[in-house]
């Protein structure tokens, strides 16, 4: 088995009697991009902070590069790049001072790569952090996180504050370059299309538990979205094997379902219907279906 960069086993953590993580296990290897998805408060950020040694597990274990990040923070953090959701950068520094400050902690700092990224993001090194927009802070923080060529890059909601063009053309390129270089990326995002576009592996966290985890292609192959027509008129969704969520009404329904297509087809036929069209479900459709919500309900929420 390939050696783990991150190995989390049966991790649990509670805050004031509330369970934030409940028996979470997760493994990451080199050269892969891992996407965490889940609603706000699901436990994504809590898990990432355990990888950084910021919080100690109530039960279970966390190992990064085979080390306990709580007991050996220097051994772990010297090899990790991190961008927090809060973008907690020192307000009083200029961008170039932030780069110099970060470089002092990382002998592997690549100054030419940092300059290249500053030019790509069109950031003025002389500007103060306090004067930057939310998106520009994210860009500056991302440069500080990746310019020392970390073996593990951890990004918490990296797209927050970035416009669509920056997200697709720049963030994607940075994340992919890290993985293609044989290093590891773990990032959380509420933008499911972004996770689907960038990730090799996806882990879904719901209420502090891992509800789904696997290679993205394998996860998607396990779920389909089918359009179904029935002879009879149904005022409410008819019971169908492996159906997770249904939208529509009357004789026409759209169904997200798991398992084999043939099993689902047999169930549809037994209710006097036929599958008109079927395709692999998107990650967003899978997430909403696992949460028991239709797209209409999600948009309304």
Are 208 and 264 found together in one domain? no
- pLDDT tens digit string along 127-184? 999 999 888 898 899 999 999 999 999 999 888 777 887 787 777 878 888 988 999 9
Structural domain boundaries enclosing 250 = 222-300
78-99 tens-digit pLDDT: 999 999 888 788 999 999 999 9
On average, the pLDDT of the chain sits at 91
End-to-end CA distance of the chain: 43
Q: Domain end: 214, 249, 276, which one?
A: 214
Residues 231 and 201 in one domain: no
Domain boundary among 174, 192, 214: 214
* 102 & 244 share domain: no
Same domain? 198 vs 276: no
Number of structural domains found in the chain: 2
Q: What is the CATH number of the domain that holds 263?
A: 3.30.70
Polymer length of the chain:
301
Helix, strand, coil fractions of the chain, as percent rounded to 5: 35, 35, 35
Residue closest to 53 by CA, chosen among 63, 43, 66 = 63
CATH of the domain at 84: 3.40.50.300
**DSSP code at position 281:** P
Shared domain for 46 and 143, answered yes or no, is yes
Residues 82/102/146/125 CA torsion (nearest 10 deg)? 120
Name the one residue in this structure whose structure tokens are 């759209």: 254
241 and 166 share a domain?
no
């Amino acid at each position: 088995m390939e050696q783990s960069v991150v190995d989390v086993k049966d991790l649990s953590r509670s805050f004031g009697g509330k369970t934030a993580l409940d028996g979470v296990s997760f493994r990451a290897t080199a050269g892969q991009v891992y996407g965490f998805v889940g609603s706000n408060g699901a436990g994504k950020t809590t898990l990432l902070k355990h990888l950084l040694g910021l919080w100690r597990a109530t039960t279970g274990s966390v190992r990064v590069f085979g080390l306990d990040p709580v007991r050996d923070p220097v051994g772990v953090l010297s090899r990790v790049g991190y961008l927090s959701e809060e973008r907690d950068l020192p307000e009083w520094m200029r961008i170039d001072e932030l780069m110099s400050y970060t470089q002092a902690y990382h002998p592997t700092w690549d100054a030419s790569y940092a300059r290249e990224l500053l030019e790509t993001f069109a950031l003025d090194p002389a500007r103060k952090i306090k004067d930057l927009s939310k998106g520009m802070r994210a860009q500056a923080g991302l440069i500080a996180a990746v310019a020392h060529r970390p073996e593990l890059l951890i990004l918490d909601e990296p797209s927050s504050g970035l416009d669509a063009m920056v997200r697709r053309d720049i963030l994607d390129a940075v994340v992919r370059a890290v993985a293609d270089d044989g290093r590891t990326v773990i990032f959380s995002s509420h933008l499911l299309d972004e996770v689907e576009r960038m990730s090799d592996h996806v882990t879904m966290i719901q209420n502090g538990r891992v509800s789904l985890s696997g290679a993205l292609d394998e996860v998607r192959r396990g779920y389909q979205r089918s359009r179904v027509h029935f002879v009879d008129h149904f005022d409410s969704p008819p019971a169908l094997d492996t159906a997770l969520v249904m939208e529509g009404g009357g004789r026409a329904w759209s169904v997200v379902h798991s398992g084999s297509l043939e099993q689902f087809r047999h169930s549809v036929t037994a209710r006097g219907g036929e599958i008109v069209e079927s395709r692999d479900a998107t990650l967003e459709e899978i997430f909403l279906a696992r949460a028991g919500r239709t797209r209409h309900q999600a948009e309304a929420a």
